[in-house]
């Protein structure tokens, strides 16, 4: 019997190290910011859910092959937090992280060309040329797998 692929196999958000506000998923490292920082080649994500607006910013990461010990990996992430994010990440609770890791069963995910000030939506900038916008209320209907774009540090497989 084949094993069922779970949602966390595709997307799982966690702290980079114990007590950190630096978050990681399978490809990105970053966190919640008050305003977007000037970080080249970063992914900026604006999420509005239930009237609450949050900004997340992340960069792609690859742990160097020679770093294998847990303490060395923690030091690697601390260096990113200090040098790249300038220690400006906002606190995030364990409950928020747990919530983001759940499958939400959203009723509608729509691809849109603009976001609204009054709706639950998201905008993700990967560069000046690549912008993705989604709405939970309107737009071209998309597969529910796109719900991962409504979560911080959007996971974009491949």
Cβ atoms 76, 28 nearer than 8 A = no
Checking if the pLDDT of 1 tops 80, the result is no
Q: Please report the pLDDT score of residue 126 as a whole number.
A: 86
What tokens does 20 get?
A: 């950190």
Checking if the pLDDT of 8 tops 80, the result is no
Q: Which of 117, 121, 157, 158 is nearest to 139 (CA)?
A: 121
What tokens does 44 get?
A: 């900026």
Q: Rounded to an integer, what distance in angstroms lies between the CA atom of residue 102 and that of residue 7?
A: 8
Q: Rounded to an integer, what distance in angstroms lies between the CA atom of residue 153 and that of residue 18?
A: 18
| 11-23 confidence digits (pLDDT tens) | 889 999 999 999 9
Q: Please report the pLDDT score of residue 147 as a whole number.
A: 86
| 112-147 confidence digits (pLDDT tens) | 999 888 789 999 998 777 899 999 999 999 998 888
Q: Please report the pLDDT score of residue 127 as a whole number.
A: 75
- Taking only Cα atoms into account, the Rg of the chain, rounded to an integer number of angstroms, comes to 16
Which pTM value belongs to this model? 0.89
Average pLDDT, rounded, for the chain: 90
| 20-51 confidence digits (pLDDT tens) | 999 999 889 999 999 999 999 999 999 998 88
CB under 8 Å to 42, separation ≥6 — which residues?
30, 57, 58, 59
């Amino acid at each position: 019997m084949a094993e069922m692929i779970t949602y966390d196999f595709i997307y799982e958000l966690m702290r980079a190290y114990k007590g950190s506000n630096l978050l990681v998923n399978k490809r990105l490292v970053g966190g919640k910011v008050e305003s977007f920082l000037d970080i080249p080649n970063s992914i900026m994500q604006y999420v509005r859910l239930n009237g609450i607006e949050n900004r997340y910013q992340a960069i792609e990461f690859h742990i160097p092959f020679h770093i294998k010990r847990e303490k060395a990996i923690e030091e690697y992430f601390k260096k990113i937090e200090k040098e790249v994010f300038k220690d400006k990440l906002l606190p995030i609770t364990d409950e928020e992280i747990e919530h983001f890791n759940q499958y939400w069963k959203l009723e509608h995910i729509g691809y849109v060309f603009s976001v609204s000030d009054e709706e639950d939506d998201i905008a993700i900038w990967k560069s000046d040329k690549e912008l993705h916008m989604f709405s939970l209320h309107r737009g071209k209907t998309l597969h529910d797998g796109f719900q991962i774009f409504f979560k911080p540090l959007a996971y974009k497989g491949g």
